[in-house]
Chain A
Amino acid sequence: MTVQIKTLDFEPKRQTFGHIARRLGADKPATRYQEATLDIQATANFHYKPLWEPEFWQYDTRKTAVVMEDWYKPLDPRQYYYATYNIARANMNQAVERNFAFVEERDLIGRMSADARANVERGLLPLRHLHWGSNMNMAEMTQRGYGAAVTAPCIFSAGDHLGMAQIISRIGLELDGQTGASLDKAKDAWMNDAAWQGVRKLVEDTFVERDWFQLYVAQTLGVNGVILQFAYRNCDAAWKEGAITIAMLTEFMSDWRAEEARWSDHVVKTVAAESAENKALVSQWAKHWIDRAIAAVGPLSDALLGDGGAAAKAAGDSAAAKARALGLAL
């Protein structure tokens, strides 16, 4: 007896959800990113107006001055949703663990001079407070922003900042033999060291910025673009012979900044390109916050590098050049 094996190909009745198919213009297979993002946020039929802000609904496009016809235009080029984001970060964190193991095994921190260690304590460790502030800002944009296309990557970014604050804290624990004394000193520098007060004031001012997209511009172009560019890129000379060790331990931040910028640049560019009014607003915000960030980092740059603020200026110039490349008029 012969058995003939036949295959039947069943076409599914639908390739994706109706609301995704309407977005794609046809019923075709959608990516997980698209299915996890497009039109996920509720837009209507809210039951109770928030008591704390009765002029707005929970999700309200009027919480920023920029106007988008569709807040699902600024999509994430990295196509992150929960799974892809976590897989990507788990891989990056593995590299962090290996780098810390490498530095511990060879006692690279122990070989740094007292001078270099003091600079790291004063110049690098307070950044954990900056990252915590950035975490607050990204979480604020998540809750006040509009559309899952923008707000979902915002909460991922908030998680990233918390992770980076932890990496900085671990560098501190490596410096002080796991006692935490260096972190106390860093907190004191953040609160009282004159070199840090500009940065601290800037971060605290962003906390009270109510326009969420202005906050987005302040955080991504001002804080990430200028302050983090200075701290992780233009400041190597301050760590003296420990520069390579610190570069290894902060490798996550370098990778993250390049990757985050792909997303945040795309969002700023898309929103500014929507209309002349948006472009004018975003340009004005970008100029304001980049200028403020340069002024804020100047004293830090001078204190750590003795350069009269030149490294801060260089970081600011690169942020301004980037903003112009995104189509802003600065």
Chain B
Amino acid sequence: MSQLASLTLYNNDDARPIIDAILADNPGVRVLKMPGAVKLDCEDKLVVKRASVEERMGHSWDLQEIHLVLISMAGHLDEDDDQFAVSWSH
């Protein structure tokens, strides 16, 4: 049985490019809108790519800045300078 990998982010101007990048990079992601927050669910794996976010923001972006808008996450974290991924695979 597969599990859902998930990220919950604020729904604000700072998070919007990140949300857009996640939607573009993860086919099959499901969006749950809550007051002030957006929960993104995907089977097995969800990845945030620095390059996609930078392209939408128009300036360089440190992946660790995601913590400024990250509310909650589900999945094992695998991160480096270029991507931030949550998944249940080992």
Within the complex, the shortest CB–CB distance from B86 to chain A, in Å, comes to: 24
**In the complex, B57 has a CB within 8 A of chain A:** yes
**In the complex, B34 has a CB within 8 A of chain A:** yes
User: With the chains together, A29 CA to B17 CA distance in Å?
Assistant: 11
- From known contacts A7-B34, A8-B35, A9-B33, infer whether A32 and B13 are also in contact, taking CB-CB under 8 Å: yes
**In the complex, B27 has a CB within 8 A of chain A:** no
**In the complex, A77 has a CB within 8 A of chain B:** yes
User: With the chains together, A78 CA to B57 CA distance in Å?
Assistant: 8
User: With the chains together, A283 CA to B54 CA distance in Å?
Assistant: 31
A8 partner residues in chain B, CB cutoff 8 A: 35
Question: Within the complex, which residue of B13, B16, B17, B35 is in contact with A9, where a contact is CB–CB below 8 Å?
Answer: B35
**In the complex, A33 has a CB within 8 A of chain B:** yes
- Chain B: residues with Cβ within 8 Å of the partner, total of 9
User: With the chains together, A31 CA to B17 CA distance in Å?
Assistant: 9
B33 partner residues in chain A, CB cutoff 8 A: 9
Q: Which residue of B lies closest to A9 (CB)?
A: B35
- From known contacts A79-B58, A79-B59, infer whether A31 and B34 are also in contact, taking CB-CB under 8 Å: no
Interface size class of A (residues with CB under 8 A): 10 to 19
Q: Which residue of B lies closest to A8 (CB)?
A: B35
Q: Which residue of B lies closest to A11 (CB)?
A: B33
Q: Find residues 29-45 in chain B having any chain A CB closer than 8 Å to their own CB.
A: 33-35
CB atoms of A31 and B13 under 8 A apart:
yes
Question: Within the complex, which residue of A9, A29, A88 is in contact with B59, where a contact is CB–CB below 8 Å?
Answer: A88
- From known contacts A7-B35, A9-B34, infer whether A31 and B16 are also in contact, taking CB-CB under 8 Å: yes
Within the complex, the shortest CB–CB distance from B10 to chain A, in Å, comes to: 13
B16 partner residues in chain A, CB cutoff 8 A: 29, 31
- Tell me the B residues contacting A by CB distance below 8 Å: 13, 16-17, 33-35, 57-59
- Ordered nearest first, which 6 A-B pairs have the shortest CB separation? A79-B58, A9-B35, A78-B58, A7-B35, A77-B58, A29-B16
- Tell me the A residues contacting B by CB distance below 8 Å: 7-10, 29, 31-33, 76-79, 84, 88
Known: A29-B16, A78-B58. 14 other contacts (CB 8 A): A7-B34, A8-B35, A9-B33, A9-B34, A9-B35, A10-B35, A31-B16, A31-B17, A32-B13, A76-B58, A78-B59, A79-B59, A84-B59, A88-B59
